[in-house]
Amino acid sequence: MAKKAQRAPSGAVSGTGNAEMITAAEDQGAAETNVETIEREIGELARVLEAMQRRRNYPLDRAQFLLLRVLEARGPTPTATLADLLLLDDSTVTRQIAAMEDAELVAREPNPNDRRSSLIHATRHGLTVMRKMRRMRLERIDRLIADWTTDERDTLAGLLTKLNGTLKRSLKDA
């Protein structure tokens, strides 16, 4: 059974001070369950992250950044494996790779284990741009949570890791 969560002050998101819509249950004074709070906060998080992404002057889009992060960690990788790791269709990743090749962020090389396919690897330029963006993102996040305690940061990191793992497993089970 879902626990009742403490209600944020009317018209504010807990910890942000931003105005938000009041749900019918909140308007009637009923405490929302923790599942309701999580659902609401995940929706709000997605909306805020999208708005922040649009306002940032990053050198890569999110898809390019994530693909380059995978290539940095794994080295040369087949397109189908990249698609699996990024939870995308092969065709989507193929289009992304083509655009990234044009921008000289990635390159293809023959796959020694399968002559029908190629391996994708990050170029020196691609890694340089991705690392610059990662530094920008890390600095921004550090500024955003500068007044958080180490315990709060550790708790958020652990819970986000756990949530992402749960979400990925649910996609594989679906």
Q: pLDDT, tens digit, for every residue of 86-141? A: 999 999 999 999 999 999 999 999 999 888 889 999 999 999 999 999 999 999 99
Can you tell me which residue has the tokens 């920008």? 136
- The answer to whether position 4 is within a domain reads no
Q: What's the pLDDT band for 78 if we cut at 50, 70, 90?
A: very high
The Cα angle at residue 132 between residues 94 and 81, in degrees rounded to 5: 25
State the Cα–Cα distance between residues 87 and 83, nearest whole angstrom.
Answer: 6
- The answer to whether position 127 is within a domain reads yes
Domain residues for the domain of 99 are 62-131
CATH of the domain at 73: 1.10.10.10
The answer to whether residue 20 scores a pLDDT higher than 70 is no
In sequence order, the β-bridge partners of residue 118 are 110
- The answer to whether position 113 is within a domain reads yes
More confident residue, 55 or 120: 120
- What is residue 60's predicted lDDT score, i.e. its pLDDT? 94
State the Cα–Cα distance between residues 30 and 41, nearest whole angstrom.
Answer: 17
Q: What's the pLDDT band for 152 if we cut at 50, 70, 90?
A: very high
- Checking 83-90 for CB contacts under 8 A at 24+ apart, the result is 87/168, 87/171
Task: For residue 168, count CB atoms less than 10 angstroms from its CB and return exposed for 0-12, middle for 13-18, buried for 19 or more.
Answer: exposed
In terms of domains, do 27 and 47 share one?
yes
More confident residue, 9 or 157: 157
Per the prediction, the chain carries an average pLDDT of: 86
